[in-house]
A and B are shown apart, each in its own frame.
Chain A
Amino acid sequence: MKKLVVAAALAAAFGSAHAQQAVKIGMPLTLSGQFADAANQMLNGARTYMKMHGDTVAGRKIELITKDVGGPAPDVAKRLSQELVVRDNVDILAGYVLTPNAMAGGDVSAEAKKFMVVMNAATSVVITKSPYMIRTSVTLPQVMETFGTWAATKGAIKQSYTMVTDYGPGHDSENAFQTAFKAAGGTIVGSVRFPVANPDFSAFVQRAKDLGPESIFIFIPGGAQPAALGKAFAERGIDKKKTRVLGSGETTAEAALKSMGDTALDIITAWHYDYMSSNPLNQKFVKEYQAVSNGRNPDFFSIGGYDGMHAIYETLKKTNGKTDAEAMIAAAKGLKWESPRGPMMIDPDTRDVVQNVYIRRVQKVNNELVNVVFDTIPMVKDPAGERRKKK
C-alpha cells in the first residue's frame, strides 16, 4: 500500500512532464531571525538571475516557492522540505542557508529522489548527505586551508594567533587554517574562541595584543560582529604593518568596511567573491541586482543564489526540461561556467563547488575602501572532500 502511494506521488510529481508544466523549485530559507538578511540576499540573487535570463527554460516556466525555517532548526527544515515535496510537488529543492538545515534537507532529497542545490551552507560534509545534491556556494576548508597554505608560503608569515567564533563554522575554519598553516611550515602561537553572541571584542583583542604575534587569523560571521571587531582593533592600536591581520571574507564585507572605516586598511582576507570586482560580468550583475533588491549591493549569499539558479537553468537545458533527479545530477556533474565571481565548476566526482580563491588586501581606491585582489589560487577543490575520496 505504501509503495503504491509513493509511486503515485512520484508519478504525479514528474510523470506529467509536459513541456508546459512549470518547474517548481522549493526553497526552505531562514527568512526570519538572525539569518534573515542572508536569506533575503540569496533570494535576491536568485531573482536577479531570473530577471537577467528570463523565467523560462527548455520550454518550461520556473517557479520559486519559499518557506521560512526561522533559524538553525533541522526538524523544521526537514518538515518543510518534506512538505515541499509531498504537498507542493516541487521538482527541485534549493537554498539552505545553514548547515544543520542543509543536512536535514539532504535526507529528504535522498529519500524523495529530488535534485538539490545548496546555495550557501558551507560545511564540507553537507554534500555527502544526498547523491542528488550539488553546491554552488563555498566550503570553509576550500577557503581556509588554501589561506593557511598561502600565508605560510607566499605570504611569508611564520606565526599566527587564531581567533574564531565558538560555533561550527568557527571550529571548522580554525581547524582548516591551523592544519594547513602548520603543514606549510608555520607555527600557531595560540588561539581563542569568542562566544557566539559576543557584542564586545576589546578584551579578546587586548589579549591578542599582549601576546604580540606576527599575525592574527580571524573568523567571525557577518552581521554586526566584523565592525565591532574592527573597532576593537582600532581602539587597541593594533599596527597592521607589524601584526598582519588575516580574515575570512566576511570580516571585510560591505557593512563591515562601512563601519570600520580606515581602521580596516591592510586587512588581508581570502574569499571567493567581492561585489566590487571589476570583472565585466560582475559589474552587469551588480547593476541588475541593485534594481531587484531596491538599491542593495550583492554579497556572497547573493552570488550563491545567482549561481545556483544558473546551475539549475543549464542542467535543465541539458536534460531538455526533464526534472528526474538521476538525469539532472548526471547533467550537473562537471558543469563549467563563468560566473560574476570568476570561473566555476561542479566537481564531477564530489558534486561540490570548484572555484578560485582570491587573496585580497583592503586598500583605498578612488577614496573608497576596496578589497583589492593581489593573488589568486585557481580552481580549488574542497580539500576535505578530496580527503574523503581517498578513504
Chain B
Amino acid sequence: MLSSAVGVLFDGFAYGMLLFLLSVGLSVTLGMMNFVNLAHCSFAMVGGYATFHLMTRLGWPFLATLPMAFLAGALISIVLERTLYRHLYRASDLDQCLLTIGIVFISVAAYAWFYTTEQQSIRVPDWLQGAQHVGGMTFANYRMFLVVVGLAITALLILFLEKTRFGARIRAAVDNQRMARGLGIDVDRAFMFTFALGGGLAGLGGALSIQVVGLDPTFALAYLVYVLIVVAVGGLGSIGGSFAAAVVLGISDMAGKYYFPWLGAFLIYLVMVALLMWRPAGLFGKR
C-alpha cells in the first residue's frame, strides 16, 4: 500500500517536472509582458526536433544535444520576438492569440514537410533506461533524471533571479514596468532576454519529453492545453507557482490513474476547475 503510494508520488513528481519545464517560460512571458504566446509549444517542438536531428542524423550523444535544444528554443523565440511579437505588445489579447495560432499552424506544417508526420523516437543512453527496484518499489532511471534536471533548473532560475543583478532588473521589470524604466532599466532588453530564456526552457522540455511522450509535428498543439493549465493554476509570472501547479497536476494525474482509473481524463480537468475556482489568480498569482 505504502510502496505504491510512494511510487505514485514519485512518478507524478517526475511528470510534474516535465510539465514545469514546458510551462515555466510561458508563465513568465505571459505574466511579465502580458503577451499571449500560444506558440510556446512550438518552441518545445523546435527543441525536440533539434535533439532528434542531432542524435539520429549526426550521431550526437543525448546529453550533448540538450544544451543545443535549449539554444534552438531560445533562438527561435528571439527571432519571432524581434520580427513579429514586438509589434503586438500593445495589441489586444485576441490579436496576439490569432498571431501566435497562425505561427503554430505554420510551424506544424513546416516540420511535417521536413520530418514527415512519422512518430519519432530516440535511443537514450543505457544508464537512463530501466529502473531501480528498492524494497518493492520501482524508480525508473529516466524519471529520476527528470527530477534531477527539473530541480536543478528550478534552483538555477531562482538563484539567477534572486542573486544576480540582471535577475533583479528582470524582477523589477515584471513588478512595475514604468518604475523600472524610470530607474534606467532597459526593459526591452529584459523582455527579449526573458523571452529567450522561456523559449529555451521550452526547447529543453521538448527534448526531454521525447523519451516519455514521443515526437511528431502535432506536438505544438497537443500539449498546449496542459501547459495552459499549469500556467493558469500556478499563477502568471510566478516560477514557484508553475512549480507547485505542475507538481500538483502531475501527482493528481498519476494518483487518479492509479486509484481511480475510471475517472481517467476527467481528473486533471476537475482539479484545474476546482483550483481555479478556489484561487482564480492561480496558486501564487499576483493579481
Task: List A residues at the B interface (Cβ < 8 Å).
Answer: 33-34, 36-37, 40, 166, 192-200, 202-204, 206-207, 210, 222-225, 227-228, 231, 234-237, 255, 258-259, 261, 294, 296
Contact = CB atoms under 8 A, between A and B. Distances in A.
B130 interface: yes
Nearest to B122: A259
Contact of B216 (A194, A196, A202, A224): A224
Contact of B15 (A37, A200, A259): A200
Contacts of B117: 36-37, 40
A259 B257 CA distance: 24
Q: How large is the interface on B (under 10, 10 to 19, 20 to 34, 35 or more residues)?
A: 35 or more
Contacts of A237: 131, 133, 138
A36 B254 CA distance: 29
B258 A195 contact: no
B123 interface: yes
A225 B138 CA distance: 21
Nearest to A297: B118
Given A228-B213, A255-B119, A259-B121, A206 B258 contact: yes
A228 B213 CA distance: 6
B283 to A, nearest CB: 22
A33 B218 CA distance: 7
A205 to B, nearest CB: 10
A207 B261 contact: yes
Interface in B238-252: none
B265 interface: yes
Contacts of A193: 261-262, 264
14 contacts: A34-B222, A37-B119, A196-B265, A199-B212, A200-B11, A202-B11, A204-B257, A206-B258, A222-B119, A228-B212, A228-B213, A234-B130, A235-B142, A255-B118
A200 B116 contact: no
B11 A224 contact: no
Contacts, number: 106
A224 B119 contact: yes
Nearest to A39: B117
Which 9 A-B residue pairings sit nearest by Cβ, starting from the closest? A224-B214, A195-B265, A259-B121, A203-B257, A235-B140, A203-B258, A195-B264, A37-B117, A199-B213
Given A200-B15, A200-B253, A261-B129, 17 more contacts: A34-B222, A36-B218, A37-B117, A194-B257, A194-B264, A200-B212, A203-B255, A206-B8, A206-B138, A206-B258, A207-B258, A231-B211, A231-B212, A234-B129, A236-B138, A258-B121, A259-B214
Contact of A203 (B8, B118, B216, B222): B8
Contacts of A200: 11, 15, 212-213, 253-254, 257
Contacts of B120: 255
A204 B4 CA distance: 12
B7 interface: yes
Nearest to B264: A195
Contacts of A261: 123, 129
Contacts of A210: 4
Interface in B43-65: none
A202 B214 contact: no
Contacts of B265: 166, 195-198
Given A193-B264, A202-B11, A235 B119 contact: no
A258 B121 CA distance: 7
Contacts of A203: 8, 11, 254-255, 257-258, 261
A225 B15 CA distance: 16
A234 B131 contact: yes
A294 B11 CA distance: 39
B57 to A, nearest CB: 13
Contacts of A225: 214
B112 interface: yes
Contacts of B116: 37, 40, 294, 296
Contacts of B119: 37, 222-224, 227, 255
Contacts of A33: 218
Contacts of A228: 212-214
Nearest to A201: B257
A222 to B, nearest CB: 7
Interface string B199-228: 000000000000111111110001000000
B192 to A, nearest CB: 32
Contacts of B118: 37, 255, 296
